[in-house]
Structure 1
Amino acid sequence: MKKYFYSNGQEKEGPVTLGELKQKDIQPKTLIWHEGLDDWKEADSVEELRELFELSPPPLDTEDDTLNATDTKDFKPEKQTVTESSHTVRKQGMFSNPFSFDGRIRRTEYGISLIIYVVVAAFVNVIVESGEAPIIGLAYIPMLWFLWAQGAKRCHDLGNNGWWQIIPFYGLWMIFQNGQPGINEYGRNPKG
């Protein structure tokens, strides 16, 4: 497990895990170091910490848009750093980035992806085997990229690295298992 050190420029603290680091009051310019980095980097330039500075919470969903007394007794707002790159996180639709390996997708999108792959692969097989247009076989390259990208994102939704999809029969698990609730190290829950 990767251990992180952080510093405000005066003293260093750590080692801590990624989860512990996210609980600390780090700012975009807090210096971070972990094994594999040549030198200290600012927190907003460390890939696994970027989401802390880019995400902003959705608006509160209350009937009169104000918190009542029962809501406020346990309410503790989190510190939020506003940067130029801050933006409101919008819910993404299905297949918004089908060839990207970043993020998370739901079971439904993964299942539809498998169906699309099988139908297109069957169509390409018929054309290639007929010998009329063997060059169409190159269509397998983007098809496999699409399938692997969607599989990696589904693995991320389960809290696992994308390489887990090469485990035999793990694809069945990805179809039936619920994703992790809330935010994990790969992003927000796609169920919103």
Structure 2
Amino acid sequence: MLEMYKKLVLENYANVNGRARRKEYWMFGLLNVLIYLLLNVLSFIPGVGIVFSIIAGIFILGVMIPSIAVAIRRMHDVGKSGWYLFIPIYSLILACTEGEHKTNEYGADPKNGFEEMSEIGKDLN
């Protein structure tokens, strides 16, 4: 899970192109929530709590852009524009919906790496 988080944060920091699977989207969100909760619990330690509160604030600011980027890629996976994030309930429904099983205008299906192989031997006309 930490490897996936590192990959998402470092390699796709602000990448809004392509598609993100449900697992990628939800695991990224879950790990962010767990880290934030840990920092908040540590902020109640007398004497050093303020340091952890500041770190929690910096963490939230640091993951804001990657969170938006992965959410946009998640909308792309279901065939919708990233602007659908501004529709609260509908964007949650889309985030829970399984992605399209074919290449769409945003890229190839991230679950199916062999989609190109199915095109071999087909008539191009």
Common topology (TM > 0.5): yes
5+ residue gaps, structure 2: 113-125
* CA–CA separation in structure 2 for the residues paired with 1:179 and 1:118: 24
Structure-2 change in CA distance of 1:114 and 1:189 (3 Å): same
State whether residues 101 and 149 of structure 1, in contact with CA within 8 Å, keep that contact through their aligned partners in structure 2. yes
Relative contact order, higher structure (CA 8 A, sep 6+): 2
* CA–CA separation in structure 2 for the residues paired with 1:169 and 1:121: 24
Query: In the TM superposition, what is the alpha-carbon distance from 1:156 to its structure 2 partner?
Result: 0.6
Q: Which residue number in structure 2 is paired with residue 126 of structure 1?
A: 41
Structure-2 change in CA distance of 1:112 and 1:133 (3 Å): closer
Compute the RMSD of aligned alpha carbons: 2.4
State whether residues 117 and 147 of structure 1, in contact with CA within 8 Å, keep that contact through their aligned partners in structure 2. no
5+ residue gaps, structure 1: 1-93
Query: In the TM superposition, what is the alpha-carbon distance from 1:134 to its structure 2 partner?
Result: 4.0
State whether residues 157 and 189 of structure 1, in contact with CA within 8 Å, keep that contact through their aligned partners in structure 2. yes
Structure-2 change in CA distance of 1:181 and 1:163 (3 Å): same
Query: In the TM superposition, what is the alpha-carbon distance from 1:142 to its structure 2 partner?
Result: 1.9
- Equivalent positions of 1:142-157 (< 5 A) are 142-157=62-77
Q: 1:167 aligns with which of 80, 87, 94?
A: 87
State whether residues 107 and 154 of structure 1, in contact with CA within 8 Å, keep that contact through their aligned partners in structure 2. yes
Q: 2:17 aligns with which of 102, 106, 128?
A: 102
* CA–CA separation in structure 1 for the residues paired with 2:74 and 2:39: 25
* CA–CA separation in structure 2 for the residues paired with 1:175 and 1:157: 9
Q: 1:184 aligns with which of 101, 104, 113?
A: 104
Structure-2 change in CA distance of 1:126 and 1:143 (3 Å): farther
Q: Which residue number in structure 2 is paired with residue 44 of structure 1?
A: none
Q: Look up the equivalent residue of 1:148 and give its one-letter code.
A: I
TM-score by length of 2: 0.66
Q: Per-residue displacement from partner, 1:63-94 (whole Å, max 9, x unpaired)?
A: xxxxxxxxxxxxxxxxxxxxxxxxxxxxxxx6
Q: How many residues align?
A: 100
Q: 1 or 2, which has the higher strand percentage?
A: 1
Q: 1 or 2, which has the higher helix percentage?
A: 2
Structure-2 change in CA distance of 1:131 and 1:162 (3 Å): same
Query: In the TM superposition, what is the alpha-carbon distance from 1:189 to its structure 2 partner?
Result: 0.9
Give aligned-pair identity as a percent. Answer: 31
Q: Look up the equivalent residue of 1:174 and give its one-letter code.
A: L
Q: Look up the equivalent residue of 1:111 and give its one-letter code.
A: W
